[in-house]
Structure 1
Amino acid sequence: MRVIGLMSGTSYDAIDAAAADLRIEGDRIILTPLGLLSREYSESLRAELASSLPPAATTLEQVCRLDTGIGQAFAGLAEQAVEQLCGGHADLIVSHGQTVFHWVEEGQVHGTLQLGQPAWIAEATGTTVVSDLRSRDVAAGGQGAPLVSIFDVLWLRGRSGTPVALNLGGIANITVVPSSEPIAFDTGPANALIDAVVRELTGGRSTFDADGVMAGRGRVHPELLERLLAEPYYGRPAPKSTGKELFHLGYLATAMTGLPEIAPDDLVATVTALTARTVADAVHAYGGTEVIAAGGGIRNPALMHLLAQELRGIPLRSTDELGLPSAAKEAYAFAVLGFLTVNGLAGTVPSCTGARHASVLGSITPGLGALPIAAPPERVPVALHIE
């Protein structure tokens, strides 16, 4: 089955479309990558999205406009992916949409909202769309995140030691794959605070710390780092999830209250160090023996250098070294989730999300032809192989 996964993460810098041939052979899912396309949001849509996200107030009119605008943006990239990556035909499109709110109170997720109306994708491409992949896990008592954990478990199970899959997006999350039950959770901010600080300090001229230049020039402010590390979220038991509802510019401003003025580069260096420390602490806490990283954060040399130092000898490598393009990992993971859905297979690992049971995920928006729904295979896949 030829499947396209569409993804925009919490950094909301661009939409990724990854295409793959997916099939089940025995107890394995075989994934053959077909390529990746990325497209930035238009400046106007990005600005509207940024102005509507927590802690900003918004209106139902803005939500409706965003749902339509994001859906149309996803549809435009999906059309391009069908033509350029799939030779004019895809069997299924899986859209994560854009997370705009993740409702967490005292560690319990009560709801999650991803915008990007899938009808625009189905109409533009004529292809069936699976979307809204997080809500079913939340309804089953889970965190709805990190949903990539089933991909990580299928892919990394069987490696020696205790491999840890790491995603450095706006929020950092890990999946720990020991010989016993796996576990997954958001460790805290990855690029969320770094990007917010850079955007504020440059007046919007830069939206991220390109090549880690600012962090590399700066020095970590010990007292601010200590205050940030005192955040109660880090001490909560897994599974757990978080988002920009907690880690935003106002949160950082509160932590800086009463401190003398901090130089811009030092501020960026400090929040970069926060990401490295909290990720490494989580890896150490669960006995990780190697870290396999993906996401935009791996393109930040300063962050990766600090993380390697904090890991204290635990090997740090990218998914590229294992045959999976790091820039496309999450999009491929959601392609696999939608593939599981149309095969009647659960897309969650309860020990990773905290749900009462595993669930078949998502809602289906029909395309122009027959629904690509298959009977569940005779054997439930227990491994993922990348060709």
Structure 2
Amino acid sequence: MSDLYIGLMSGTSLDGVDGVLADFSGQSPQVVGHASAPFPAALQQELLALNTASDNELHRAALAGNGLVRIYADVVHQLLKASKCPASAIRAIGAHGQTVRHRPQEFDGTGYTLQLNQPALLAELCGIDVVADFRSRDVAAGGQGAPLVPPFHQAFFGQGGQCPAVLNIGGISNLTLMGTQADAVRGFDCGPGNALMDAWCLAHSGAPYDNLGLWAASGTVNPALLQRMLQEPFFAKAPPKSTGRDLFNTSWLARQLQGMEALPPQDVQATLTELTARACADSLLREAPDARTLIVCGGGALNLHLMARLSSALPMCKVTSSDVFGLPPLQVEATAFAWLARQAMLRSTASVPKVTGAQGARILGAIYPA
């Protein structure tokens, strides 16, 4: 039986879809194909709007899910065409969907997490089994439902007894801490990743993100604003913990900026970049002070100024891109969802109670047969 899987990821940054074709027949996953597609501006704006309460949400969310899945299907077809691989050779697609609400353990004690997706439509468009809805089983078991990638980080980066820390900087940042045993892996969300930086950059420069961090590097960190933002209670909360745009959004930023509206925009960008670096560095220093290698993936790994600020905050630690370990930063999460799909198809657990706080390890994902 084939051991080829496709992983699809559209993260909190809302910049588009990354997909990989991964081969799991060897000792560690091998990416044999990568494709991506940007979000059309209208879909991007709708997905962002659906992060907060608004009119006619159910109807709009359903149509946004359809639009998202058509982009997913386009990425799948790109992968199949480039690899000259028939759909019948792919065991399954792991499709995470687009998180628009993440409120585990809130309201009634269980809470919920919501990813827009239409996995049945994806199975129909691609003719391949689809695994989706990875978070809800963990939430049902009393967990945070996030982060989901630490066991994959352990499987890929923890080879040969190595125990590096892995930092994923997407819209939100999350940290994986490894041990010498597979069940020793820990992980949690650190706070904002690119989400606030991207939103500020778009609003004040018109660019969707701060390319290489050059705009932030042209500004000066404002100590008062930084300290105000670091007072957010989430940062002091002990793991397991997760977060999203429900907390770290433009309304949150506007509250932090009250009375400081006259700050030069580039100084705010510099301070937001420093906030992300500090939130990540402080998390590592608090939870794994002996870590000597930090592997960074996600879009934040391409922000050279952010990487420099991380290195400055972690002088005892070698901060390096996942590229050095054979997996480019923009392929790590998509590969993780290919791995998660494989775990579901094998009926193997993929959640880690130490990471999410769930009552036990669970098989994650719902399967939609082709």
| TM band (smaller chain) | over 0.9
> Is 2:326 the counterpart of 1:328?
no
How far off its partner does 1:38 sit?
A: 0.5
Q: TM-score, normalised by structure 2?
A: 0.93
Q: Residues 322 and 115 from structure 1, CA distance in 2 versus in 1: closer, same or farther, beyond 3 angstroms?
A: same
Post-superposition Cα deviations, 1:43-98, rounded to whole Å, max 9, x if no partner, equal 22112222222366662111111121112221222222222235223221111111
How far off its partner does 1:245 sit?
A: 0.8
Comparing 54-63 and 275-284, the one that deviates more? 54-63
| Structure with the higher helix share, 1 or 2 | 2
**d(CA) in 2 for partners of 1:86, 1:22:** 18
Give the counterpart letter for 1:68 in structure 2: N
Alignment correspondent of 1:91: 91
Give the counterpart letter for 1:35 in structure 2: G
Comparing 103-112 and 252-261, the one that deviates more? 103-112
How many equivalent residue pairs?
361
Q: Percent identity?
A: 38
Give the counterpart letter for 2:32 in structure 1: L
Question: Contact between 2:29 and 2:156, CA under 8 Å: does it hold in 1?
Answer: no
SS at match of 2:112: strand
Comparing 265-274 and 64-73, the one that deviates more? 64-73
Question: Contact between 2:104 and 2:139, CA under 8 Å: does it hold in 1?
Answer: no
Question: Contact between 1:52 and 1:58, CA under 8 Å: does it hold in 2?
Answer: no
Alignment correspondent of 2:142: 141
Alignment correspondent of 1:188: 191
Give the counterpart letter for 2:63 in structure 1: R
Alignment correspondent of 1:3: 5
Matching residue within 281, 285, 292 for 2:295: 292
**d(CA) in 2 for partners of 1:20, 1:276:** 31
Post-superposition Cα deviations, 1:270-291, rounded to whole Å, max 9, x if no partner, equal 0000000110011111222210
How far off its partner does 1:253 sit?
A: 0.9
**d(CA) in 2 for partners of 1:149, 1:292:** 13
Question: Contact between 1:183 and 1:238, CA under 8 Å: does it hold in 2?
Answer: no
Q: Residues 81 and 158 from structure 1, CA distance in 2 versus in 1: closer, same or farther, beyond 3 angstroms?
A: closer
Q: Residues 11 and 56 from structure 1, CA distance in 2 versus in 1: closer, same or farther, beyond 3 angstroms?
A: farther
Give the counterpart letter for 1:358 in structure 2: A
> Is 2:315 the counterpart of 1:312?
yes
> Is 2:262 the counterpart of 1:264?
no
How far off its partner does 1:223 sit?
A: 0.4
Give the counterpart letter for 1:233 in structure 2: F
Question: Contact between 2:102 and 2:246, CA under 8 Å: does it hold in 1?
Answer: yes
How far off its partner does 1:317 sit?
A: 0.9
Comparing 313-322 and 184-193, the one that deviates more? 313-322
Question: Contact between 2:105 and 2:143, CA under 8 Å: does it hold in 1?
Answer: no
- Map 1:334-345 onto structure 2 (within 5 A): 334-345=337-348
Question: Contact between 1:168 and 1:294, CA under 8 Å: does it hold in 2?
Answer: yes
Q: Residues 109 and 221 from structure 1, CA distance in 2 versus in 1: closer, same or farther, beyond 3 angstroms?
A: farther
- Map 1:74-113 onto structure 2 (within 5 A): 74-85=72-83, 87-89=85-87, 90-104=90-104, 110-113=111-114
Alignment correspondent of 1:373: none
SS at match of 2:348: coil
Post-superposition Cα deviations, 1:220-249, rounded to whole Å, max 9, x if no partner, equal 011000000001001111010000111111
Post-superposition Cα deviations, 1:116-148, rounded to whole Å, max 9, x if no partner, equal 201221111111111111111111111111100
SS at match of 1:30: coil
SS at match of 2:24: strand
**d(CA) in 2 for partners of 1:162, 1:36:** 27
Question: Contact between 2:277 and 2:313, CA under 8 Å: does it hold in 1?
Answer: yes
Question: Contact between 2:216 and 2:305, CA under 8 Å: does it hold in 1?
Answer: yes
Post-superposition Cα deviations, 1:263-308, rounded to whole Å, max 9, x if no partner, equal 0100000000000011001111122221011000111111111111
SS at match of 1:328: helix
SS at match of 1:62: helix
SS at match of 1:165: strand
> Is 2:200 the counterpart of 1:197?
yes
**d(CA) in 2 for partners of 1:269, 1:115:** 32
Give the counterpart letter for 2:80 in structure 1: V
Q: Residues 260 and 192 from structure 1, CA distance in 2 versus in 1: closer, same or farther, beyond 3 angstroms?
A: closer
Question: Contact between 1:228 and 1:274, CA under 8 Å: does it hold in 2?
Answer: yes
Comparing 158-167 and 338-347, the one that deviates more? 158-167
Question: Contact between 1:156 and 1:163, CA under 8 Å: does it hold in 2?
Answer: yes
Give the counterpart letter for 2:322 in structure 1: T
Structure 1 alignment gaps of length 5 or more: 368-387
SS at match of 2:309: helix
Question: Contact between 2:221 and 2:274, CA under 8 Å: does it hold in 1?
Answer: yes
Matching residue within 62, 65, 80 for 2:63: 65
How far off its partner does 1:256 sit?
A: 1.4
Alignment correspondent of 2:31: 33
- Map 1:243-254 onto structure 2 (within 5 A): 243-254=244-255
**d(CA) in 2 for partners of 1:277, 1:177:** 21
SS at match of 1:279: helix
SS at match of 2:283: helix
Question: Contact between 1:19 and 1:86, CA under 8 Å: does it hold in 2?
Answer: no
Q: Residues 45 and 62 from structure 1, CA distance in 2 versus in 1: closer, same or farther, beyond 3 angstroms?
A: same
- Map 1:13-32 onto structure 2 (within 5 A): 13-23=15-25, 29-32=27-30
**d(CA) in 1 for partners of 2:137, 2:153:** 20
Question: Contact between 2:9 and 2:97, CA under 8 Å: does it hold in 1?
Answer: yes
